[in-house]
Structure 1
Amino acid sequence: MSTYEEKLSILSEMIAFARVDHTLKQSEYEFLLKVAHNLGIDKLTFEGLLQQKSPKVPLKTQAERIVQFHRLLLLMNVDQEQHKKEINTLYNIGLKMGLPPVAIGQVLEVMHNYPDNVVPPNVLIDIFKAHYN
């Protein structure tokens, strides 16, 4: 898995994304706290990241980038709301990670076919696989 610094960077990026609409809803906070726990980051450190960003550490593998994109997608939909700014920001984050633009667009389109816009991991992986073959 990732180093501790990479994990802090992952979480910091997610916090920044959650605040793209200038607010951090309770559902987003709880989701981020769960991700922190899953990454092995304690609550005190998590709370610190809410105050100060961690340095950006690029994810090394394509698989790590796809997982992070999926986390961000889940975060965007956790509050049951989507705003154009969030969708555009997620698209641009995916581009900066080096993910194929067509795959990103396809994921953002098919998410509406699933309950709560939660794209199953296998569907997400299949979409990205199709664009790498």
Structure 2
Amino acid sequence: MQSHAEKLSLLSQLIQFAKSDAPLNADEYNFIVNIAEQLGVEKSELNSLLVKKVAIEIPKEESDRIVQFHRLVLLMNIDDTNKDTELEMIRNIGLKMGLSPIATDKVLETMHRYEDKIVPTDVLISIFQRHYN
């Protein structure tokens, strides 16, 4: 189970990633609100993360890192544009998380095969299982 600080770190990472290419838009914000609700973080606390950064902590469990990577991929595709800078940034985040670069690239390649570039969870998990570190 993740600590409250870890949850805030995950949300802060999502916010920083969403803001990396443009100001946070309504769809991105709503997506992050939904993640906050799933994590049990109050909306007021989430809103405070919009103005203050929390240190990004890499989740200890590989399964948690994969889930966070999946969230980042979903967030990246909300605006339906994949800029080269976003793709490079998400690759670097995957590397910093200690995820297989082959698996992360495969996920980014595979997402184009699905409607709205939403890679089904079972497909994502099978990609990482094949390339397990």
* Aligned ranges 1:78-97 → 2 under 5 Å: 78-97=78-97
Q: CA deviation at 1:74?
A: 0.5
TM-score (normalizing by structure 1): 0.96
Q: Which runs of 5+ in 2 are unaligned?
A: none
How far the C-alpha of 1:55 sits from its partner, in A, is 2.2
Task: Find out whether 1:76 has 2:76 as its counterpart.
Answer: yes
* Structure 1 match to 2:46: 46
Match in the other structure for 2:60: 60
Structure 1 stretches of at least 4 aligned residues deviating more than 4 Å after TM superposition: none
* Structure 1: gaps of 5 or more residues: none
Q: Name the residue aligned to 2:106.
A: 106
Matched position secondary structure for 2:98 = coil
Equivalent positions of 1:20-39 (< 5 A) are: 20-39=20-39
User: Quick one: which amino acid aligns to residue 12 of structure 2?
Assistant: S
Aligned-residue CA RMSD (Å): 1.0
1:9 aligned residue: 9
Kindly provide the amino acid, as one letter, of the partner of residue 114 in structure 2. Y
CA distance in 2, matches of 1:44, 1:132: 38
Q: Distance in 1 between matches of 2:28 and 2:114?
A: 20
Q: CA deviation at 1:57?
A: 2.2
| TM-score calculated relative to the size of structure 2 | 0.96
CA distance in 1, matches of 2:121, 2:70: 8
